[in-house]
Amino acid sequence: MSTESDAYATHQNLKLAAKVLGMPWQTLYVKLKKQGVSVTGNKAMYGGPHDKLASHAESIFQGLVPCAQDKNHEKWQAKYDFMVGSQRVDVKASRKNRQSKRSEAMRWSFLFSKQTYECEFFCCFCLGEADKVDHILLVPQEIVGAMQTMSVSCKSVSKWMDFEVAPQDLAAFFDSL
């Protein structure tokens, strides 16, 4: 390993590693790419609130499906999060939020716009208090179709609960394919 790749591995942040090395981050980036180092960063540590929430859900998924190959470690903003056998899976996470300013009704909201046709399954984590999992929805791509968003009611029975899967059954499902 080179000094550049060691610094990047330590900090997992291009700007911090470049500062330690006393060079512009752009120069470090070019050197790392020439060395074949994947520059993906660490969104759990340095990302914004949405990145951190996504990273939390991806960590939960990886814990439940240990054989899943994390594509985010290979490429920045991978088109999908995991490869499980031959299945491409994108992980989504949502905290409870109000349906509207005038309504007290709560929902979980998921955005699919960029990945609708990129993967076979969407694993949606409905998060409750302290970001603990309330529900896991495993939705096939054909069901999501061309949808941009999915809204899941927190109280009333939702059609999306047909796709709920128990945490302990997630790995078994993928193993069965």
How many Å is the maximal CA-CA distance in the chain? 57
40-74 burial, b if ≥16 CB within 10 A, otherwise e?
A: bbebeeeeeeeebbbbbbbebbbebbeebebbbee
CB 134 within 8 A of CB 119: no
pLDDT at 56: 94
**Structural domains of the chain ordered from first start:** 3-34 (no CATH), 44-175 (3.40.1350)
Whole-model pTM above 0.85? no
**Separation between Cα atoms, residue 139 and residue 87, nearest integer Å:** 13
For residue 15, name the pLDDT band (cuts at 50, 70, 90). confident
**Average pLDDT of the residues in 123-135:** 95
pLDDT at 134: 95
Q: Which residues contact 98 (CB under 8 A, 6 or more apart)?
A: 104, 105, 106, 107
